[in-house]
Amino acid sequence: MPGRQVRSNLACCATSGCNDQLTLSVPSTSSWKNGMYCPACENQNSSLCEGQTDTPCTGAEESCISLEGVSIGNSNHNFSMRGCATPSACTMKENDLMSFGGFCLQCEYCRSNSNSCNGVPQTCSEDETACIILTMELRKGTEVTVATYKGCTRPSYCAASPMSIRVPSYHQRRANKCCRNDLCNSGAVELPPLRLNLNRRQCPGCLSSDPKCLPTEIINCRGWEVFCVFYEVRTDDGGTVTSVSKGGCGNKEACMHEPNIIGIPGLFLETVRKTECTHAPMLRLN
């Protein structure tokens, strides 16, 4: 498996409680490359992965293995992997149980008030099968706030990217990347270009706790914001839950045609419960 090695040992006995007396040691590891290469990959919640990277085998890993299974825990999910293996790993039969939790994803974890951060490995829970990098910028007049988060997430929290939304009193830019391999969320993502030039398109703007969200002003769209968007949103900001409706200009990625969840659970989460998106009309030149 690319970037991950799982080592295990087991012993069995045939009388009640006898495994209390069994002692085991984890097999030793070796960095010696034995000259063999195997296609390597790993997937969660999907069919057998396609090995696009050849990984060098080490030590006693003299076989290539392909494995599909079901991880049984708080939430069952399929997994698949390919890579190097010792001959003993290839003695497993169909429906054999592997009673270790070595298949939880690991992601880089950090957060900062800037457009990047570097963190430490974080072991994900069984229902968190993706890693995310998320950078958000909020502009209110001359005030600019930027935040970045890296960590574990659910695939349903991975929104289209990059995203630009302009509503009364603020402009939000957001970029994120999701991936499903160990520590794949290193590096940074780029926010969409600011693009302040007016593009001759306008949308009704509103920002209200009233679901009707009657327009209070006309928003002049800028750059690649060529759609009028409207959201009914439930916001969870660190445990403070509010409901708000908002409308204004957005780019193509801001057009969510079905309810969605955006953000990071426990930090800042927007549950989009209703969404509308139409092409912004272009002003005619006299």
**In this structure, are residues 184 and 178 in contact, taking their beta carbons and an 8 Å threshold?**
no
Q: Is pLDDT of 141 > 70? A: yes
pTM across the whole model? 0.62
pLDDT value of position 6: 64
Which of 12-16, 128-132, 136-140 comes out lowest in average pLDDT? 12-16
Give the CA-trace dihedral at 56, 60, 63, 64, to 10 degrees.
-40
**What are 183-204's pLDDT values in tens digits?**
999 999 988 888 889 999 999 9
Query: What is the chain's mean pLDDT, rounded?
Result: 81
Q: Is pLDDT of 280 > 80? A: yes
pLDDT value of position 89: 74
**In this structure, are residues 187 and 167 in contact, taking their beta carbons and an 8 Å threshold?**
no
Mean pLDDT of 142-156: 89
Q: Helix, strand, or coil here: 254? A: helix
Query: DSSP assignment of 42-91, as one string?
Result: EEESSS-----EEEEEETT--EEEEEEEEE-SSS-EEEEEEEEE-GGGGG
Classify residue 136 by burial, with Cβ atoms within 10 Å: 0-12, 13-18, 19+.
buried
pLDDT value of position 22: 60
The better pLDDT of the pair 105, 118 is held by 118
Q: Is pLDDT of 72 > 60? A: no
In this structure, which amino acid lies at residue 147? A
The better pLDDT of the pair 154, 178 is held by 178
**In this structure, are residues 242 and 202 in contact, taking their beta carbons and an 8 Å threshold?**
no
**In this structure, are residues 187 and 134 in contact, taking their beta carbons and an 8 Å threshold?**
no
Tokens describing residue 169: 């009193």
- Token pair 């209070």 in the structure block, residue: 216
Q: How far apart are CA 163 and CA 138, in angstroms?
A: 12
- Token pair 């769209």 in the structure block, residue: 221
Bridge partners of 17?
none
**Strand ranges (E), 141-284:** 143-153, 163-167, 170-179, 198-208, 217-222, 227-237, 240-250, 260-264, 268-279
Q: Is pLDDT of 86 > 90? A: no
Looking at residue 146, what DSSP letter applies? Answer: E
Taken in order of first residue, the domains within the chain and their CATH numbers are: 18-91 (no CATH), 106-279 (2.10.60.10)
**In this structure, are residues 182 and 219 in contact, taking their beta carbons and an 8 Å threshold?**
no
pLDDT value of position 24: 60
**What are 168-177's pLDDT values in tens digits?**
999 999 999 9
**What are 208-263's pLDDT values in tens digits?**
999 889 999 999 999 999 999 999 988 887 778 889 999 999 999 998 777 677 76
Q: Is pLDDT of 71 > 50? A: yes
**In this structure, are residues 165 and 229 in contact, taking their beta carbons and an 8 Å threshold?**
yes
**What are 29-59's pLDDT values in tens digits?**
667 788 878 888 777 655 667 766 788 888 8
In this structure, which amino acid lies at residue 174? R
